Structures are given as C-alpha cells and as structure tokens.
Structure 1
C-alpha cells in the first residue's frame, strides 16, 4: 500500500488586530505558552537563535530560527522528534509565518514544509502531516483570538 504524504501544510487566518500586536503574540514566550506550547517556551527570535516548545504529553521540541523580520516573517526549523535538536537533513521541518496588513487587521499565513524529506517511514510522515494540520489550525485560531482580545 502506498501512502500519500503532503510535503507542505498551509493555513491562514485574518486577525482583527494591528500587525505589531500579532507579531508580539507570535514571537513572545508568554503568548506562545497560551496559543501553542502550554508546557512552556524558550525563544531567541533572531537568526541562529534557539527555540524550545514544551508539552507535558509530547515532550520538548527544539528548533532554530532561520529568519525573523519584525512584523513580516518568522521562519524556523523544528525537530521532528522530542528532546532532540535537529542536526542534519531529514530531522526537521521548516515552519514559516508570514504577516501582511489587511484592512484594519493582519493576514497571518503559516506554512510547514519539508515533510517528505523527513528520515522516517512514509506512514510516520503522513501521521506527522495529519497531526500538524490539526494542531496548526487550532493554534492559529487561538493566536488570532488572543491578539484580537488584547487589542480591544
């Protein structure tokens, strides 16, 4: 049986808040703990900076910031396996958040790519893609709600 694996997950959300507010919610640990990593977060939002996201049920996931342009773009590599810093090809995906002004608010686009290049069997890649799609969808909804509520 052949397993079809999506290489890229894309989601977007409109946030009724100014772009600088959305950037803060996206890149500061106190906010990330609420919308994405309830077990805690450490982040150095500069190129080459390390990041760690923690979940009680999944462990701690390590990553490295590739690009951070305030109010515009936040890109990082995120390890597939918990408690393991990605050190080579096939060990991480690329996660990118792009922000753009739209009306009185902000359009936030997420893409996670490199799933097919992961050094795991196709069924594990497919499972990752399925889980990541659900978790990013709910995380973006939560992020948007936090940014909008904080703005009012």
Structure 2
C-alpha cells in the first residue's frame, strides 16, 4: 500500500529540513529518542516511550530537499521539502508491503481528512 500526503507549513524550507533531519528536533515532534545520521547509508533509530523501536537506513539524500528512509519492516518513507507561497510544502510518500487492514484504513482516513 502507498500513502501520499502534502503538507503546507508557514516555515522556511531550511527550517523544515532541520525539523526532518535533526535528532533533537525530531524528538520534539516524532519519537521520544532519535538517532539519525542523515547521509546515504546512515542509520536511524526511533524509540517511543511505549517501548516501540523502529530502525531505518537512509537510502538517499538531496541535502535540503529530500530524504528517503527504508525501515526494518521494508517500509519506505520519502520526504521532500520545497518552497511554497506559505513557506514550505512537504510531500510525504509512505510505502509498506505489510500494513494491517486496520492501519491501512486509519491511514486512508487521515489522508481523506486533510
């Protein structure tokens, strides 16, 4: 299954890029603990307080505009940042070969609500 989202933010593209690739900033909005080397072949580890841990490898990076992560479940997240009238646009494409039906429905509902 593939999910695609587009998010407009009132922030400069450089600030958005930092929020997506800086460990300290990722810990503010994504996971409780983050280790991320945002370079091709770099490792990412994301930990939540509920005990969930996800690991990833950075497949590719276009500094300041795109990062692609392959997670340990073979899911792929492709994040792109581009300038927009409001500040920035973030394009998110997520793919996973093994999402459960309930997760697929939840993700689809989130996309339709936006």
With structure 2 as the length reference, what TM-score do the two structures score?
Answer: 0.85
Deviations 1:101-139 (CA, angstroms, capped at 9, x unpaired): 1125110011111x2x33xxxxx53234345x38x88xx
2:9 counterpart of 1:9: no
Cα root mean square deviation, aligned: 2.0
Greater helix fraction, Structure 1 or Structure 2: 1
2:112 counterpart of 1:112: no
After TM superposition, give the deviation of residue 71 of structure 1 in Å.
1.8
**C-alpha distance in 2 between matches for 1:66 and 1:32:** 18
> Which of 20, 24, 28 is matched with 2:14 structurally?
20
> Which of 98, 104, 109 is matched with 1:129 structurally?
104
**C-alpha distance in 1 between matches for 2:37 and 2:105:** 28
**C-alpha distance in 1 between matches for 2:53 and 2:19:** 20
Gaps of at least 5 residues in structure 1 are 1-6, 80-90, 119-123, 138-152
Greater strand fraction, Structure 1 or Structure 2: 2
Deviations 1:72-117 (CA, angstroms, capped at 9, x unpaired): 11100112xxxxxxxxxxx32000111111125110011111x2x3
After TM superposition, give the deviation of residue 60 of structure 1 in Å.
1.4
